[in-house]
Structure 1
Amino acid sequence: MSLSSIKSFRVDLDGPVDAAFTRGELVSGRVLLEVRRETRVLSIKVQGRGVATAHWLENRGMNSVYNDYTSRISYFRRRQHLIRDNGELTVLTAGRHEFPFSFQLPEETLVTSFEGKHGSIRYWVKVKLHRPWFTVRKIKKEFTVIEPIDINTPALLAPQAGTKDKMARAWYRNFGQVNVTAKIDRKGYTPGEVIPVFAEFENSTSRSIVPKAYITQTQTFIARGTMKQKRSVVATLCGDIVGARTRETWHGRAIKIPPVGPSILQCRIIKVEYMLKVCVDVPGTSKLCLELPLVIGTIPLHPFGSRTSSVSSQYSVNLEWLRMAIPEQPEPPPEYSAVVSQEEAEQRNGTSVPQPSAADDLSGILERPLQAFVQEFRFRPPPVYCEIDPNPQPLNIRPRCMTC
C-alpha cells in the first residue's frame, strides 16, 4: 500500500502563539504543505470566520423527546484563494510549499472570545485542500479576539452605591431590623485590581450577624426566545461578626478580582456580567444581599489624569485597605447557591423565564497591559457553578448619604 503523497499540512499564524487580535487588525499567516512526490491540486482555499453559538437540549416531560435550542450569529467571513480552481490542475513538485495569506478583521464591534457550557464565541482560520479523486483535506486554526473595554469612560468611572434593610423574623417573631449600606468608587475594573468596599452594617436585632462580600459572574445564553444562565462566585470577602444592637463600618475593605474574562455585553445571544454582592448572614432567617453592578474591562485605569488624580487623593487620606493582607492561597469561593437568599431562590423557582427583549501595589496593577491577562483567563478552567432558572428581581434600593 503506497503512502499518501501529503507528508504534512498545517496553518501557522504570524506573531506569538498567545496573540490576541481586535477589530480592524490584520490576521496573517501561511499554509505549509509538504508532499512526498508530484501532487496535482485543484484548489487551496483559506477562510476566516467569527461565530457566536448558543446551544442546549432540554427534556420536557417523562418521554425521551428533547427540545433543541440553538442560535448563531456570524460576525465576519473572509475568503481567499491560494490556488484558484480555474479548470486546470496545478502540479506541486515534491518538497515543501508555503502559501501566505492575510485578511483584515471588520472595523465594526466584535465580541471577545468565549467558551461556556451552553455556548461559545470563536474565531478561526480554516484551509481546504481539493485534489482530484480524493476527499477534501481540512485544517483549522483558532485565534483569540479581545474587544477592548476602556474603564476610563464616565459611565464606568461613576461610583456605585446603595442601601437595603430587612426585618429579621422567625416563626412570626421579630428580632429587629438589619440595614446595609455599601459604596464602591467606580463601576469598571480590570482583572488583578483590588476593589475597596466602603460599607456600613447596622444591626438592630438581638442576634449577631456576619457581613460578607462576593464577586459573582453570570453567563446568559439565549436561543429561540428562551434563556439559560450559569452563575458562579469568583471572589469572596468575609468580615468580622457584628454583635447585637451594634454597628460595623468597612473603611475600604479589599476584595481582589481574579484573572477572569472581561464582561461581554454586546452579543445578542451570549452575555457575561459581574456583580458585587454585599450580604449579611442573620442566624435563623434568610440572607440580606445588596447588589452593585460591575464591568470587567481590558484597558486599566490611566495612572495620570484628572479623574485618576482625584481617586488617588481620596485613597491617600485613608490607606488602611492597602495594608490588609490577602492570603496567597485563599479558600475556594462558595457556590452561587450559598450566596443567593432563600427568598430570591423561591421567587426565581416559582416564576417563568423572562423573554429576552489590597495588598498589591496600585501602580503595578494600573500599568499591566491587556496581554498580561489574555493567557490567564484564556486557559483557566471556569469556577464551580450551579444551574438555576433566571429571573432577575428589581432591587428596592433607596439612596442614603454615607460618609466614607
Structure 2
Amino acid sequence: MDYITSFDIRLDKDVYYAGEPLTGCVVLENAENIKIRGVRVLLRGKAHVQLKVMKSGERKTLKDDQYLLDEKIVIWGKDKHDDPDATEILPRGMHQFTFAFALPQCQMPPSIETRMGTIRYYVKCIIDIPYASSPQGIKYFSLIGPHIDCMEEKYLSALCGQDHKVRCFRCCQRGTIALRVILERTAYCCGENLKIKAHIENRQDFTINLNIKIIQIIEYRVEKGVLGETKTVTSTALEYRSPTVNENTAAKFDSSLEQHPIKIPVIPPTMVGVCRLMQIYYILKVSIEDERKNESLEMEFPITIATIPYRSPQTQLYSITYDFCVDYVEGGKYISPEFRLGSVYDGQPSTTREGGGGQGEITPAQDEEEEDIILYRPVYVKCIEKPKGIRGVTKDILDQKLTDSPTDINRKLKFGSQKSVNALLQPSGSHTARNELSPLSASTKSHKNNSLEQQKLLNH
C-alpha cells in the first residue's frame, strides 16, 4: 500500500549449512500510522520438477513438489489464526524486526537451478493488513549440502583398473595398446586437483592420447500415475587430454605433477538419496584416444563431489570460498526468467538482438551489463589453493618481532617471498581474504562472517 515506503528482508549472510542458525531482520518504513494484524516470517525449502512427456500422442507437462523446510514465526502482532479480528497500530517511522530460525541438523540437498528442476530456499515476509492487499517479500539464500567429507574412510581407498587391446587386420596382429589407471581417492571438492596416475603402452604405428572426463548425470523423477516418469540429463563437467604418446613407446602420467594439473570445476555436489525428485552423481571416464578421435579401453570410476575438502595429515585446516556453477553443466546453464531483469533468459547464449531492423551483434560490454542484472544464483563450495612458498614464509613471519609492521616485515624478508607475504598480511577486512576452517566447525561456526571472509595463518 502507499503508506509503506520501504520494505526489505535482510539476512546476516547469504550462504548457510544444515544445523546453523538463520538470523536476519525485516526493515519496514511507513509514512503514516497503519492498522496491521501482524507481521509473519516464513522459512521454506522447496524442490520442484517439471517434465514434458508424450502420452498417447499428446504433449503433457507433469509437475511434482517436495517441501524440505516449512516454518513460520510472528515477529510483530498476532497470527491471523489466533484472533482474526485483532489489529494493532504500527506508528509511522522506520521499524526493524529481527527473526531467527534453526536449520535442521540433517542431510539436506543443495540449492540448484536447472530448466527441469529447482531446489530453492528462501525467507518470506507477509505484512498482514486486514483491509487491503498484504505486501509480501522474498529473500533467497544458498544452502550448502549434503554433508560430504573427503576424509571419510570410504573415499580414501584407491581404485585401480587395467585393460589391453590387440589390434588385428585380417589374420595378422598389427599392435597392442595397454592401460593401467590408479585413482588415489574418490571424493573431491570443487577447486581441488584430481589425483590420478596412468601407465600407457603404445605398441602400434600411430600416436595416442589419454582422455579423462568427468560426466555429470542428473535424474529427475515425477511420481505421477502408477510408475511415474523419469528423465536423465548427462553433461560433461571436465575433459582433459594428455600429451601425445608416440608409436611403439610407453609413458607414465601423473596428474599431481605441476605440468599435468586437472582442477575440478565449480559444479553442484553429489546428491543421492537426499531429495525424492532429483539425484546428482558423477562418473570419471578414462580412455585411450587415437588420431581419429576414436576411443578404446574405456574405464569408468565412481567419483563424488564433496562439500568439505581433503586435509593433509599435517594440518586439519583448509581454505574455501563460494562461487557460481560453470555454465556448461546442469546447475549453471539455466537462469530462471524471474531472477533476470530486462530480458528473458532461455539457457542459450545469444549473439544477436531479437527483433528486426537489421540491428547488429551485441558487444561484450552490452552482454556483460545484461549478465550483471541477476537477482539470485546459488553458489557452491570451492577450495582455495595455498600460495606457493607459504610454508617457509609463514615461519619467517612468526619469527619477526610483534612490534614490526607489515611494511617492516616485507622489507626484512626476501624479495621472492613478497607475493606470499602480501597475501598473508592483508587486513582481515579485505575482500580477498580467505576463510581457514576446521572440519569440526565447518557446519556451525565457519561462516559467521560470509560478507568479509577472514584469514588465519596455516600451521605447518
* Cross-structure match for 2:341: none
Q: Tell me: CA distance 1:285–1:104, structure 2 relative to 1, closer, same or farther (3 Å).
A: closer
Distance in structure 1 (CA, Å) of the matches to 2:87 and 2:328: 62
Q: Which stretches in structure 2 are left out of the alignment for 5+ residues?
A: 317-325, 331-384, 391-433, 451-460
Shift of 1:271: 2.1
Contact 1:32 1:98 in 2 (8 A): yes
* Cross-structure match for 1:135: 133
* Cross-structure match for 2:303: 294
Shift of 1:294: 1.4
Question: Structure 2 length as normaliser, TM-score?
Answer: 0.61
Per-residue Cα deviation, 1:17-75 (whole angstroms, up to 9, x for no partner): x3x222222111111221111111122211101112221223457x6x32223232222
Pick one of 239, 243, 256 that aligns with 2:242. 239
Q: What SS does structure 2 have at the residue aligned with 1:195?
A: coil
Instruction: Identify which range, 132-141 or 297-306, moves more after superposition.
Output: 297-306
Pick one of 120, 123, 147 that aligns with 2:121. 123
Pick one of 19, 32, 48 that aligns with 1:37. 32
* Cross-structure match for 1:378: none
Q: Tell me: CA distance 1:292–1:75, structure 2 relative to 1, closer, same or farther (3 Å).
A: same
* Cross-structure match for 1:329: none
Contact 1:54 1:222 in 2 (8 A): yes
The letter for the 2-side match of 1:256 is K
* Cross-structure match for 2:251: 248
Q: Tell me: CA distance 1:108–1:196, structure 2 relative to 1, closer, same or farther (3 Å).
A: closer
Distance in structure 1 (CA, Å) of the matches to 2:140 and 2:19: 18
Distance in structure 2 (CA, Å) of the matches to 1:272 and 1:72: 17
Q: What SS does structure 1 have at the residue aligned with 2:310?
A: coil
Q: What SS does structure 1 have at the residue aligned with 2:154?
A: helix
Q: Tell me: CA distance 1:285–1:301, structure 2 relative to 1, closer, same or farther (3 Å).
A: closer
* Cross-structure match for 2:268: 261
Q: Tell me: CA distance 1:227–1:163, structure 2 relative to 1, closer, same or farther (3 Å).
A: farther
Distance in structure 1 (CA, Å) of the matches to 2:46 and 2:16: 15
Contact 1:24 1:105 in 2 (8 A): yes
Per-residue Cα deviation, 1:78-123 (whole angstroms, up to 9, x for no partner): 1112221322211111111222211111122211211222111111
Pick one of 48, 55, 66 that aligns with 2:59. 66
Contact 1:175 1:207 in 2 (8 A): no
Contact 1:158 1:187 in 2 (8 A): yes
Distance in structure 1 (CA, Å) of the matches to 2:238 and 2:108: 28
Query: Counterparts of 1:83-102 in structure 2 under 5 Å?
Result: 83-84=77-78, 85=80, 86=83, 87-102=85-100
* Cross-structure match for 2:220: 221
Pick one of 313, 316, 323 that aligns with 1:304. 313
Q: Tell me: CA distance 1:368–1:234, structure 2 relative to 1, closer, same or farther (3 Å).
A: farther
Q: Tell me: CA distance 1:335–1:207, structure 2 relative to 1, closer, same or farther (3 Å).
A: farther
Distance in structure 1 (CA, Å) of the matches to 2:387 and 2:55: 52
Contact 2:267 2:329 in 1 (8 A): no
Contact 1:197 1:254 in 2 (8 A): no
Distance in structure 2 (CA, Å) of the matches to 1:284 and 1:178: 16
* Cross-structure match for 1:57: 52
Q: How many residues were matched structurally? A: 321
Identity of aligned residues (%): 23
The letter for the 2-side match of 1:94 is R
Query: Counterparts of 1:1-400 in structure 2 under 5 Å?
Result: 4-14=2-12, 16=13, 18=14, 20-59=15-54, 65-82=58-75, 83-84=77-78, 85=80, 86=83, 87-147=85-145, 148-166=147-165, 176-224=175-223, 225-252=228-255, 253-265=260-272, 266-283=274-291, 286-288=294-296, 289-304=298-313, 369=437
CA RMSD of aligned residues (A): 3.6
The letter for the 2-side match of 1:36 is A
Q: Tell me: CA distance 1:181–1:104, structure 2 relative to 1, closer, same or farther (3 Å).
A: same
Q: What SS does structure 2 have at the residue aligned with 1:256?
A: coil
Distance in structure 2 (CA, Å) of the matches to 1:4 and 1:361: 53
Q: Which stretches in structure 1 are left out of the alignment for 5+ residues?
A: 309-331, 337-359, 376-404
Q: Tell me: CA distance 1:40–1:174, structure 2 relative to 1, closer, same or farther (3 Å).
A: farther
The letter for the 1-side match of 2:108 is L
* Cross-structure match for 1:319: none
Q: What SS does structure 2 have at the residue aligned with 1:178?
A: strand
The letter for the 1-side match of 2:283 is M
Distance in structure 1 (CA, Å) of the matches to 2:5 and 2:55: 50
Contact 1:168 1:282 in 2 (8 A): no
